[in-house]
Amino acid sequence: MIRFEQVFKNYPGANKALANVNFHVKKGEMAFLTGHSGAGKSTLLKLIALIERASSGNVIIGEKNLNQISRHAIPYLRRNMGIIFQDYQLLHDRTVFDNVALPLIISGFSNKEVSKRVRAALDSVGLLKYEKHLPIRLSGGEQQRVGIARAVVNKPALLLADEPTGSLDPDLSREIMGLFSRFNQVGVTVLIASHDINLINQMNKRVIHLEHGKLVSENYNANQISLADGESE
């Protein structure tokens, strides 16, 4: 699903943000991307979401080589991935429902289909009762769940998250991670950038470790506690 082949990314006047990165996240897999700040986690996610382009090498998403995606095709590519941000990136003058509906409206779904899917997405993150609220009235953890609902409402094959629990306390963070696990179990490929080692260790998933733009290790942590299905429900 996500394949990096000898990917380099240079910013003018700076050190290499990514240097010769190779890895492959399979379809249906859930993986963590970790490393200190400045290690290149965000840059890597930006390459996948085509916010940035690789200086050299191939980034292949699904079966598409992103080098061959034109500027005009970028929006259509992004519709197939759900992106989740540390600061939620919600529209504060629209209701929870309208926020989650946005990707569907962009894709041109009918009103009937939109409300059906939005309710299903909100239900899956346990926020259906807040559909008419403005995001500002919700807690941080709830706002992030709205962000997740918006990311999954289009039924994307790939979920990307950049420090999704960065502003949340440990309990809420576990809850959010539980949500990701559940989407992963129904076949969504998930890649989460995070530096919260404790939390990652609890998840028993593959960890891609970056340091100074280089991939230093890929491993499954053996002594992890598996997160039970029921825990977040």
Partner 1 sequence: MSVDKSQISLRQTQPNLLTLIKSFFIRHLQVFFYTLGQLSKTPFSTLLTSASLGIALALPAGLNELLITVQEAGSDFTQVNKISLFLKKDISSKQLEQLQQQLKKMPEIVHVEHINEQQALDEFKQHSGFGDALTALEDNPLPHLLIVEPSLSYSDPLQVEQLSNTLKKLPGVDLAQLDIKWLKRLFSIIEIGKTGILVVTGLLAMAVLLIIGNTIRLAIENRRSEILIMKLIGGTNSFICRPFLYLGFWYGFLGGIVAIILVDISLYIVSRPMLQLRELYQTELFNISLMSYTHNLQVLSSAILLGLLGAWLAVRWQLRLIEPT
Q: Which is nearer to partner 1, 61 or 210 (CB)?
A: 61
C-alpha distances in angstroms, 42 versus 75, 98, 100, 153? 19, 28, 24, 23
- State the helix-helix crossing angle for 96-107 and 111-124, rounded to 10 degrees: 130
Minimum distance between the CB of residue 71 and partner 1, rounded to whole angstroms? Answer: 9
Minimum distance between the CB of residue 225 and partner 1, rounded to whole angstroms? Answer: 28
Minimum distance between the CB of residue 93 and partner 1, rounded to whole angstroms? Answer: 8
Q: Which is nearer to partner 1, 73 or 228 (CB)?
A: 73
How many Å apart are CA 189 and CA 183, to the nearest integer?
A: 8
Q: Which is nearer to partner 1, 36 or 155 (CB)?
A: 155
Is residue 49 within 8 A of residue 193, CB to CB? The reply is no
Minimum distance between the CB of residue 90 and partner 1, rounded to whole angstroms? Answer: 8
| Beta-carbon count within 10 A of 186 CB | 10
How many Å apart are CA 151 and CA 81, to the nearest integer?
A: 7
Minimum distance between the CB of residue 170 and partner 1, rounded to whole angstroms? Answer: 28
Is residue 104 within 8 A of residue 111, CB to CB? The reply is no
Q: Which is nearer to partner 1, 54 or 227 (CB)?
A: 54
Q: Which is nearer to partner 1, 105 or 216 (CB)?
A: 105
Q: How far apart are the first and last CA of the chain?
A: 28
C-alpha distances in angstroms, 110 versus 52, 94, 106, 115? 32, 19, 11, 9
Minimum distance between the CB of residue 129 and partner 1, rounded to whole angstroms? Answer: 24
How far does CA 69 lie from the centroid of its chain?
20
Q: Which is nearer to partner 1, 51 or 216 (CB)?
A: 51
Can you give the binding site for partner 1, defined by CB under 8 A?
Answer: 1, 26-28, 49, 51, 61-64, 72, 75-81, 83, 89-91, 102-103, 105-111, 113, 150, 154-158
